[in-house]
Amino acid sequence: MKSSDSKAVRVNADYEIALFSGKTGPRIINESIEFLALFLDERPLYSQKSYAPEYLRHVEELTGRTPEVTLDGVVENWWGPLTDLPKEQRLNSKEVIIPFSPDTTLVSVAEDFHPQPVTRYLLKSPYGMSGQNFHIWSPGTPLEALSQILARSGRLIAEPLLERHRDFSHYVLSPDEVICYQNLVDARFQYKGTLFSDLRNPTVASLSFFSEHESECWAQFLREFALIRDFVSEEGVGGGYSVDSFSFVSQGKSLIRTITEINYRKTMGLMAWLLSKRFAGDDTWSLFFLVRPPKVLDVFSFIQRRVEKVPGLFYLSPGDTRFEVFFLTAPSAVIGWARLAELRSLLPGCEFPVEV
């Protein structure tokens, strides 16, 4: 039983829905990641989901702490606080990136949009989760079609659709501590995992593709990133946010887009960092990733029996959510990828979306 004065945490995973509409996010989205709080927060987890006893024992074995799940008591949001709504809305809206991204436009009516003749564009909601509610705009499409999209979606952010190569982020933990990591995403820009190539030095220099760009390219990126940090600091925020970026190819040259959005809240990349701090020990490489579950009746037992002897592997999910969630550590990248290959062979019925 939890003490009467202990606050529970609610993992409000679809944070943007709650922040911009006041609605409660779908349970299926919250429950797809809420169990991470059982590994990273000592407070009880507020949840409507019934977790199997064998899973809770599994959590206890990994954490050394008896997990608590409750529907009672005072609740605090864990993903993002939803307390200072004007500030949270301002810093989480994709509109905030426009001063730092000259080719990004806010489109309220079709006449705001001035596409270049041979350029494809990405149109996305300023207020939604990444990978949701976006449209691809092709050259020659009549503006009447844009009016129809705006009528359904409201305002849009328009930016050139670039040939993305690698996604990465910086999480500003505090004014004195910033970490950098690579994000794994699918073709629809949806999150699939986070890679730390060197936990001792989580900077751009540790990214797997760092050497693919000239030093001046990274220097320019770091200058622009410093300006973004200054802007957020002027908003009275010293930490607790990420800046998302990516590399892309244009006319055969590798370039970097400094910012696609700011997330003033917890992120999956932060989860990967906190799991690394808790579980990696002396290992210097870590990979946090999502896998499509196999089509079997008891997913948790099926996976647990097969993976329990893989070194450095932590199986985190309960077996009945949208994705199976794993955390893998290793003393080097070579050993890490070999361990991932071993896991693939043990779970042939799973869809592994991990590509680096």
Q: Where are the alpha helices (DSSP H) in the chain?
A: 15-21, 27-33, 36-40, 53-63, 85-92, 143-153, 215-234, 268-279, 299-307, 333-346
Complete edge-to-edge strand list for the sheet that includes strand 134-137: 105-107, 156-160, 121-124, 134-137
Domain ranges in the chain?
1-83, 99-160, 164-189+200-263, 280-356
Rg (CA), the chain: 21
Instruction: Write down the architecture of domain 280-356 according to CATH.
Output: 2-Layer Sandwich (3.30)
| Distance from the Cα of residue 162 to its chain's centroid | 20
- pLDDT of amino acid 4: 45
Across the chain, which has 356 residues, the per-10-residue mean pLDDT values are 67 88 83 96 95 97 96 92 94 95 93 91 87 82 89 90 94 98 85 96 96 95 98 96 95 92 96 98 97 91 94 97 96 96 90 70
- Identity (one letter) of the amino acid at 95? E
CA distance 276 to 280: 5
**Whether domain 99-160 has CATH 3.40.50:** no
Q: How many CB atoms lie within 10 A of CB 136?
A: 10
* Within this chain, domains 99-160 and 280-356 share the same CATH topology: no
Task: Give the pLDDT confidence of 293-343 residue by residue, as tens digits.
Answer: 888 999 999 999 999 999 999 999 999 999 999 999 999 999 999 999 999
pLDDT at residue 245, rounded to an integer: 97
CA–CA gap between residue 165 and residue 169 (Å, rounded): 14
Measured CA to CA, the distance from residue 191 to residue 289 in angstroms comes to 9
Give CA 135 to chain center in angstroms: 20
How confident is the prediction for the chain on average, in pLDDT? 92
CA distance 153 to 110: 13
Predicted TM-score (pTM) of the model is 0.93
List Cα–Cα distances, 44 to 41, 76, 148, 346, in angstroms.
8, 10, 46, 33
Euclidean distance between CA atoms 49 and 71, whole angstroms: 9
